Amino acid sequence: MKILPIAASILSLSACLFASTAAMAQEAQAATTPIRNIVLVHGAWVDGSGWKPVYDILSRHGYHVTMVQEPLTSLDNDVAATKRVIDLQDGPTILVAHSYGGSIITEAGVDPKVAGLVYVAAHAPAVGEDESDLGKQYPSYTSKQPGAIRKTDDAYTYLTPTDFPKDFAADLPLRQAQFEAQSQIMTAAKVFSQPMTVAAWATKPSWGVVAAEDKIINPDLERFYYQRAQSRTTVLAGASHSVYESRPKEVAAVIEDAAKRSQQ
C-alpha cells in the first residue's frame, strides 16, 4: 500500500514531463511554420494588378496575399496606404515591393507585424537618402533618354507610351506592355525625392531580386542596395523592370523563401 503514493507521484511526474515535451514540440513547430501573410506593394506608374501572376502562385500554395493600391500622390500617403493593409493582417507578415515601392516598404516595414522584406527590382534607400539622388549616382538607361519621362503641369510624372514597352516591360508581350503604357497611374514627382526617416532593412531580414536587364533602375544600383542591406539576393538574367510580371515563378520562390526563413 505504501507503493501507491510513489507510483502516483511517478505517474504525475511522467504526465508533467509529457505535457512539457508536447508544449516544447508545439513551440518548435510554431517557430518553423512559414509565415502565411504576404503584402505586395506596387511601384510608380502602375497599379497592384501587375502582381496577379505572383498572387496566383502564392495563393495556390496556401498564402494569404493582399495587394496595396497606393495613390502615388506622396510618399507619406503611400506609406499610410500600406500600413492600413498591414493592420488588417492577423499575424506576422512578409512585405514585398517593386520599384518605387521599395521606398514605401523601407518606411512602412518598421511595423512590428512585418517579419521580413522582399525588394523586387526595387529601391532601398537608407535614412536621409532618397531614390532620386541615388539614381543620379547610378543613372538608369531611361534617365539618360531625353523626354522619356514626362511631367504634367501639376508635377505628376509618366513614361511616354512609346518608351514604356521597351524600357519598362521589354520581356512582356507587346500588346500587354502597350496596354500598361496606356493605363499608367501618373505619379507625383515629389515621391522620388523624399528622404527616408527610417530604414526597416537595417533591423529586419531582407531579400532582393536584381532584374539584370532593368532599364528603369540601374541593376548596379539594385546590387548596391541589396549588398548594403545584406539581403539574400537573386539575379534574374534577361529580366526587365517588369520582372514581377514576366518571371513570377522565380519572384514567388524568393517570397516563399522569405516566408519560411523569417521569424518574429
Residues 6+ apart with CB under 8 A from 83: 108, 111
Q: How far apart are CA 65 and CA 55, in angstroms?
A: 6
Backbone CA torsion sign across 111, 117, 123, 127 = positive
**Rounded Cα distance, 253 and 239, in Å:** 15
Q: Please name which of 107, 131, 129, 112 lies closest in space to residue 121, comparing C-alpha atoms.
A: 131
Provide the β-strand partners of residue 211. 236
- Quote the DSSP letter at residue 36: -
Question: What letter does residue 94 receive in the DSSP assignment?
Answer: E
- Closest by alpha carbon to 178, among 195, 196, 163, 197? 163
pLDDT for 74: 98
Between CA 91 and CA 3 the distance in angstroms is 50
DSSP 171-219: TS-HHHHHHHHHT-B-EEGGGGGPPBS--GGGTS-EEEEEETT-SSS-H
- Consecutive 10-residue runs of the chain (264 residues): their mean pLDDT? 45 43 41 84 98 98 98 98 98 98 98 98 98 96 96 98 98 97 98 98 98 98 98 98 98 97 78
Closest CA to 87 of 59, 106, 68: 68
**Domain architecture of the chain: domains with CATH:** 35-261 (3.40.50.1820)
**pLDDT for res 34:** 79
Q: Of 58, 75, 44, 260, which is closest to residue 164 (Cα–Cα)?
A: 44
The whole-angstrom separation of Cα 45 and Cα 103 is 15
Distance CA 93, CA 113 (A): 6
d(CA 41, CA 33): 24
Task: Give the cell for residue 194.
Answer: 523624399
Please check whether residue 48 is in contact with residue 68, taking contact to mean a CB–CB distance below 8 angstroms: yes
φ, ψ of residue 112 in degrees (nearest 5): -60, -20
Q: Is 220 helix (H, G, I), strand (E, B) or coil?
A: helix
Which residues share a beta bridge with 41?
68, 97
